[in-house]
Amino acid sequence: MPKYKSALVTGGAGFIGSHIVDALIKRRIKVYVIDDLSSGHKSNVNPNAVFYKTSVLHPGLGKLILKIKPDVVFHLAAQIDVRCSVADPPGDARVNIMGTLAMAHASAKAGVKKFVFTSSGGAIYPDDLRPPFSEKVVVDPISPYGIAKRTAEMYLAFEHRIHGLPTVTLRLANAYGPRQALRGSYAGVISLFAQKMLKGEQCVINGTGKQTRDYVYVGDIVHAHMLAMEKNVSGIYNIGSGIETNVNQIFQKVNRLTGAKQKEVHGASCQGEVMRSALDATKAKRELGWKQEVSLDDGLKRTVEWFRARTAKK
Ligand SMILES: NC(=O)c1ccc[n+]([C@@H]2O[C@H](COP(=O)([O-])OP(=O)(O)OC[C@H]3O[C@@H](n4cnc5c(N)ncnc54)[C@H](O)[C@@H]3O)[C@@H](O)[C@H]2O)c1
């Protein structure tokens, strides 16, 4: 018997959210999805989930959550592009701060038993320290996206303390895998390179390509969310491998797997993005029992094969 009977996933038509929905349905949990489809796709949503096409900023959100009364909320709906946040900080803050606060406050009022928030481990730690970062490192976000994620974490701590909402924040490293949308930021660099190489389009590496990230396969990310739901814990957890891989290395690995034989082409670097990132997930290992199961090479193989099959179908 699952510990909880129902769950609401915001952003459940997106990359990570849709995999969480699938995992919950496999556990025989009744799933509701809220997504405005601003970047997600209806086709990602498991047909056994109840889908509401609406925004977390909709004035009727509180009433909807009271009606659903989910046991657990996974809040993933967000504006996820660091570059968009630099171009339009108020737009980013509306969704990533106000949307999260609206969801958390409505969830507290509806008596939600666990609120799991997906924060960023790649955009909030300082750019002048040596990774991997533990949760004890004093955060210093440099982009509006990172500032909004950190602000949302603080509002969640408030909702926990004052309104009794049990919250778990997962600070994710860079997730990758099937269903990741094509985007120009590093968040989606693996899917971007895989899709371009499979279509025979030249990839452009932003800047020197020496920027490092900590890449975690989406299956491992979903596992962390399931543990956050099941374990009797609250607080902030890093979810990462602790390993730095730079963009040039990703380019070479995907080049080999796709057989594209492309030469490295470099373009302008991106404002607002940190140079190095990797997360120390010792706390998640100790308290959640989480560890990375899928190596980068294995995850890259699975991801390229998924995009290859999808490209062949088109
Ligand atoms: N992908 C990563 O590497 C990564 C790393 C760290 C944190 N995260 C966080 O994980 C979450 C999911 O990211 P993802 O990579 O799956 O992105 P995604 O863009 O695929 O998913 C986000 C979903 O939220 C929906 N959405 C956006 N604004 C909304 C709104 N106002 N109301 C309702 N729905 C809205 C989108 O339509 C989309 O389906 C985000 O909160 C993101 O910040 C992702």
Q: What CATH number does residue 85 fall under? A: 3.40.50.720
Which amino acid residue places its CA nearest to atom 28 of ligand 1? 78
**Do 30 and 110 share a domain, yes or no?**
yes
> Which residues contact residue 72 at a Cβ distance below 8 angstroms, ignoring those fewer than 6 apart?
4, 6, 7, 8, 29, 112, 113, 114, 115, 116, 229
- For residue 144, being part of any structural domain is answered with yes
Query: Residue 78 C-alpha to ligand 1 middle, in angstroms?
Result: 4
Tell me what percent of the residues of the chain surpass a pLDDT of 70. Answer: 97
Mean pLDDT of 284-288: 98
Quote the tokens at residue 29.
């949990």
**Do 193 and 90 share a domain, yes or no?**
no
pLDDT interval class at 1 (50, 70, 90): low
Distance CA 215, CA 246 (A): 10
Any atom of ligand 1 within 6 Å of the Cβ of 96: no
- Taking the chain, what is the end-to-end CA distance rounded to the nearest angstrom? 41
Domain count along the chain:
2
Q: How many CA atoms lie within 13 A of 132 on its CB side?
A: 20
Nearest atom of ligand 1 to the alpha carbon of 180: 20
Predicted confidence at residue 182, as pLDDT, reads 73
- For residue 183, being part of any structural domain is answered with yes
pLDDT interval class at 184 (50, 70, 90): very low
Question: What b/e sequence results for 157-193 when a residue is b if at least 16 CB atoms lie within 10 Å of its CB, and e otherwise?
Answer: bbbbeeeebbbbbbbbbbbbbbbbbebebbbbbbbbb
**Do 51 and 84 share a domain, yes or no?**
yes
Any atom of ligand 1 within 6 Å of the Cβ of 177: no
pLDDT interval class at 148 (50, 70, 90): very high
Its domain, for residue 24, covers: 6-173+217-242+282-287
Beta bridge partners of 72: 7, 114
Which amino acid residue places its CA nearest to atom 41 of ligand 1? 76
Nearest atom of ligand 1 to the alpha carbon of 40: 39
**Do 192 and 264 share a domain, yes or no?**
yes
**Do 110 and 47 share a domain, yes or no?**
yes
Distance CA 22, CA 221 (A): 13
Any atom of ligand 1 within 6 Å of the Cβ of 175: yes
Any atom of ligand 1 within 6 Å of the Cβ of 86: no
- For residue 306, being part of any structural domain is answered with yes
Write the pLDDT tens digit of every residue in 113-122. 999 999 999 9
The phi and psi torsions of 121 (rounded to 5 degrees) equal -90, -10
- For residue 1, being part of any structural domain is answered with no
**Do 254 and 307 share a domain, yes or no?**
yes
**Do 48 and 121 share a domain, yes or no?**
yes
**Do 184 and 164 share a domain, yes or no?**
no
pLDDT interval class at 83 (50, 70, 90): confident
**Do 201 and 234 share a domain, yes or no?**
no
Predicted confidence at residue 186, as pLDDT, reads 47
Pocket test for ligand 1, best of 75, 76, 216, 218 (most atoms within 8 A of CB): 76
**Do 99 and 191 share a domain, yes or no?**
no
- For residue 272, being part of any structural domain is answered with yes
**Do 26 and 159 share a domain, yes or no?**
yes
